[in-house]
Chains A and B, each alone.
Chain A
Amino acid sequence: MKRLPRGVGVLAIVSIAVLYLPLVAVMALSFNATRHGQSWGGFTWSWYAKLFNNEAVLNAATNSAIVAVTSTSLATVIGTLLAIGLRRLPLGRWGRTSADVIINLPTVTPDILLAAALVVAYGIFRSVVAHFSPESKFFDPGLTTLIIGHVTFQVSFVAVVVGARLKAIGNEQFEAARDLFASTWGVWRRIILPQLAPGIVGGALLAFTLSLDDFVVSFFISGPSSTTLPVLIYASVKRGVTPEIHALSTLIVALTMIAILSIAILNRPRMTKE
């Protein structure tokens, strides 16, 4: 075919192996009966069983689930409306560019900067709110602040994914439906939304994985009672990791793979069309 140099294939396979080596290591050790060290002591399920009796882990899992579900729902609604609305606004060239910049800002801002900015903003909000109601704990580090932070970076991803899908649908179908006397609501309900749905679901799945996966923002803005799974894993690694953490990580890896696979399947028809 294109006759690549011989070393290319070897190098490529080595690179892929380097990407998977860490995942395999964690997975293997989660079934290892040895408590300390890396020597193999036989196969066991016991770390997984212990996991489901570990209160801290269950707590963090509940927090992660609450934050991921709430923030994803909010971000999906806001992001989808944002994508649809932006298409309608009669913006000039400058307006269009600045809208694009704002939408893409969270995707290019380093995590740590967004995290720091949120910490500062919550601090300011807290002192403002304290003027009006000194008892309010709304902006204290907790699940609320986590959800707000996650929505902030999720919205852009949803808007970008839905916007791309909307562009792919094009204008002709609106016009054709209109020519056949469809109402605005009818066009959306019967023609656009069914086609937009995979984009919305894909955006939501992406947002969900981003939320479950987020460490940096959560680490900065979560409080002691609102630890999420990645923050818990980080704290355990700092203290000295246990096989239970390997088991927990393996479950998270499996969950991530399922989510990614679903996104890939949702997007498959578009990929194979060209």
Chain B
Amino acid sequence: MKSTLVIDGKPTNRLRLWLSGLGLVGAGLLWLSCFLIGPLLALSLLAFASRGDYGDIIWQFNLENVWRMVGFGTFGWVPDNLLIIGRSVVLATITTSLCLALGFPLAFWIADRDRRWRVLLIAIVMVPACVNLVIRTYAWQLILGNHAPPAVFAQWAGFIPADAALYPGQAAVYLGMISAMLPFAVLPLYTSVERLDWSVVEAARDLYGGPWRTFRHGILAQVTPGLIAATILTLIPSLGMFVVSDLLGGAKYMLVGNLIQQQFGAAADWPFGAMLGLGLVVASLVSLLILLRWGSREGRI
């Protein structure tokens, strides 16, 4: 079958389009298959292989790594890995919620400025996000260090022993996570808030909606797309994080990211690392599905 098509003002047919199109995308397609899709598939296969005695890989497939991930090992059931996975999920969820809670006021405030200021302010929020995460994270070590003002104040007030620093610890990790992720929440929220139809909000007020119901039905229902994008952009990187917890959380505060890194580093147990990576993907997908369902329900209200 030979149909005549017109593309870019030139008559052509499907065969010629396929040939020229494939010629153009060929390099990119080949590259992504070899170095992205292939490796990701290899990783998922490797998750079911096992480690040899010298860190080598034995390509015999079994479910051993799944059992190890949930804690069954040589010495019976140990909840360590589940604890780490659970901690990662909790940290990612709380970080995302806090970023949304802080991102909303920021997005509203920026959207409320003059047009000239808005572009500048969004740029100001996005610049730190582009600065290397290692730098931004170790900077918090400096701020929370034992001779810096916050720690000196905490020592004086008796919250922490004399000469102690405010890191490593959970609070430091949360601070680092929020400063790392906040810009990614603000950007999509701002895009939604900027297009907000304020007459709906006024209608809600006119109909005697209190502040909460006005926000819930007048505003939240309108910014759901931005909310979903902001959630995805903060939740997924938070789940896979290992720099922040490594530098601010200390050895006792491990996340899935740190565990994966260990398997590919010191432990030399690639198959188990791959299985943990699969676990990370499953955790991300499940949390996203829940959020998206919640979002679509919310949008209909």
Contacts and interface: CB of A to CB of B under 8 A. Distances in A.
Given A23-B128, A215-B243, A260-B130, A89 B22 contact: yes
Contact of B135 (A18, A77, A121, A249): A249
Interface string A61-79: 0000000000000000111
A15 B105 contact: yes
Contacts of B142: 22, 25-26, 29, 38, 241
Given A110-B280, A179-B9, A260 B126 contact: yes
B112 A4 contact: yes
Given A110-B240, A113-B240, A120 B135 contact: no
A237 B102 contact: no
A123 B135 contact: no
B147 A151 contact: no
Contacts of B157: none
B75 to A, nearest CB: 27
Nearest to A28: B142
A117 B239 CA distance: 17
Nearest to B8: A174
Interface string B1-40: 0000101111000100110111111111101100111111
Nearest to B151: A38
Central interface residue in B109, B179, B261, by most chain A CB within 10 Å: B109
Given A19-B179, A110-B280, A116 B43 contact: yes
A202 interface: no
Interface residues of A, number: 89
Contacts of B178: 18
B28 A82 contact: yes
B134 interface: yes
Contacts of A272: 119
Contacts of A79: 28
Contact of B109 (A4, A215, A253): A4
Contacts of B287: none
A37 B148 CA distance: 8
A119 interface: yes
B240 A112 contact: yes
A82 B37 CA distance: 16
B108 to A, nearest CB: 6
A112 B264 CA distance: 11
Nearest to B271: A120
A51 interface: no
Given A18-B178, A174-B9, A264-B123, A233 B138 contact: yes
Contacts of A7: 105
Given A82-B25, A116-B274, 15 more contacts: A8-B105, A12-B108, A12-B109, A22-B135, A26-B135, A85-B26, A106-B32, A111-B237, A116-B260, A119-B264, A215-B243, A252-B131, A256-B131, A260-B126, A260-B127
Smallest CB-CB A-B distances: 7 pairs = A85-B24, A178-B9, A110-B240, A22-B139, A82-B28, A121-B39, A85-B25
26 contacts: A4-B109, A12-B106, A18-B182, A19-B182, A21-B143, A21-B179, A22-B179, A26-B139, A38-B148, A81-B24, A89-B25, A105-B36, A110-B237, A112-B242, A112-B277, A113-B281, A121-B39, A123-B57, A178-B8, A215-B132, A234-B134, A234-B243, A241-B138, A256-B131, A260-B126, A271-B119
